[in-house]
Structure 1
């Protein structure tokens, strides 16, 4: 499978693969691969389709038709990328809408391509050297970590199909699943989980993806993780659970969701603090909610431990601060 065929298959445009163009004009196909996902490619394709230049004989009809279909597919893809905010800035053009093939620092090219949303450059980088698949940047990130953080679903799929290590963490032990959860990149998170990512993966300090998602209020990510077997009771090396993270960051709706999943409001951190004690003082609603949750949980525990008729009332709500 050629790099261009891989790109079109990965992005949902396999039906416009320009077989004749690839066979008869391989250099043009390479430039299309290099520019895929960048606005300059639209200009390049438009330039190719202009047949009235004195130095151009024109393409055979079948190649021109392939270019037309390819141009339309790329416009559609680029429009989708703009809606998703997949790229922020377009690299400068090189000459008359020609695309720059200059190398960009070995394995670093894979990371750059992912940041730019340039699937073509990523595939070229991996084709040139398979070791780029696990190349670590200055943060200790692999390309898959970069794709998870950035929400680049196409890039993540390409990397996983080529055998990227789904469990490879950065310097702090955060794996791709951690970063996808933190950023709320649910499409990438679902893909990672489908490929076997551990929903209870631990960082060097015992932090799980659920804790990170809870700290940001990423509730769709939380649902995916819980459906995949994430533990709401897991504790970091500092004794923090997902509920502690959500409470400390004032994530009221996330706290409600975690309580519904069975999080224990009476679970203390390593230094003895409850989730209630971590809530920002100005968040009165969340303080009240956790206060009542502590009261209910204490009643449940007393009902389990005290013989019938001998229950000692738990401290009333408002006395847990």
Structure 2
């Protein structure tokens, strides 16, 4: 009951937005409601990328960990919009980078999808848990490899991220770069980066097919050459 009430309050309109305020639940203290409205306003400003508004709300006491009822934090909202300045403000204010929403997204995992190196650097300042996984069971490295975000992969590989993490599909970042990539320069560079970082070239998928075998089937000559040079079979 308490959680339901708090969830409803997060959706209350903020007084500054104009219009009549929604009547407060009987017995609810004004201080708590004021904090709830500040947090809701902060979340909306973060989603819009309004850094000045975010700074103002933080100064007035909004929590840097403000979140929606589904668990999505202001920092994750900023990451989805690639709002670097907002992310910097929230992290400087102490925002926790790790909480995941109902879709299992958090700021780091979202950055792996967008490929924003600038956002990644901000999130890394907060010391995120690199082992958190998305709805497919993958770390931030895997969607980045899949989508051809070579600069992002290079930056993330400077951390202690597990280069051989296997997702729920049974694929590593290396397998995804080969299987889901287009065989072009970006994905080939990612294969090179992953191998240089120590990725196992013979870690096969659930059917026992190795990255080299996949690359050969696809006719990706440059990937085949790189995988063979790394000891792929």
Same fold (TM over 0.5): yes
Native 8 Å contact 1:149 1:185 kept in 2: no
Q: 2:140 aligns with which of 193, 209, 213?
A: 209
Bigger Rg over Cα? 1
Structure 1 residues 298 and 131: CA distance shift in structure 2, 3 A: closer
Deviation at 1:227, TM superposition (A): 1.0
Q: Is residue 2:53 matched to residue 1:117?
A: no
Tell me which of the two structures has the higher relative contact order, counting C-alpha pairs closer than 8 angstroms and 6 or more residues apart: 2
Q: Indicate the residue corresponding to 2:197 in structure 1.
A: 261
Q: Matched residues in 2 for 1:245 and 1:147: separation?
A: 27
Q: Could you tell me which of 168, 183, 205 is aligned with 2:114?
A: 183
Correspondence 1:233 to 2:164:
yes
Aligned twin of 1:130: 62
Write out per-residue CA displacement over residues 166-220 of structure 1, whole angstroms, 9 at most, x where no aligned residue. 1111224332111122212212211211221133433354311111211122122
In structure 2, relative to structure 1, the CA distance for the partners of 1:149 and 1:230 (3 Å cut) is same
Calculate the aligned-residue CA RMSD, in Å: 3.1
1:263 to partner: Cα distance: 2.0
The residue that corresponds to 2:29 in the other structure is: none
Distance in 1 (CA, whole Å) between partners of 2:85 and 2:216 is 39
Matched pairs, number = 197
- 1:290 Cα deviation from its structure 2 partner: 3.6
Q: Distance in 2 between matches of 1:228 and 1:169?
A: 21
CA distance in 2, matches of 1:292, 1:102: 59
TM-score normalised to structure 2 length:
0.70
Aligned-partner Cα distance in 2 for 1:135–1:103: 22
Unaligned runs of 5+ in 1: 1-99, 300-319
Counterpart position of 1:149: 80
Displacement of 1:148: 1.9
Alignment CA distance shift 1:294-1:224 (3 Å): closer
The partner residue of 1:289 within 212, 222, 230 is 222
Kept in 2, the 8 Å contact 1:266–1:297? The answer is: no
The whole-number CA distance in structure 1 between the counterparts of 2:137 and 2:192 is: 24
Cα deviation digits, residues 7-63 of structure 1 (max 9, x gap): xxxxxxxxxxxxxxxxxxxxxxxxxxxxxxxxxxxxxxxxxxxxxxxxxxxxxxxxx
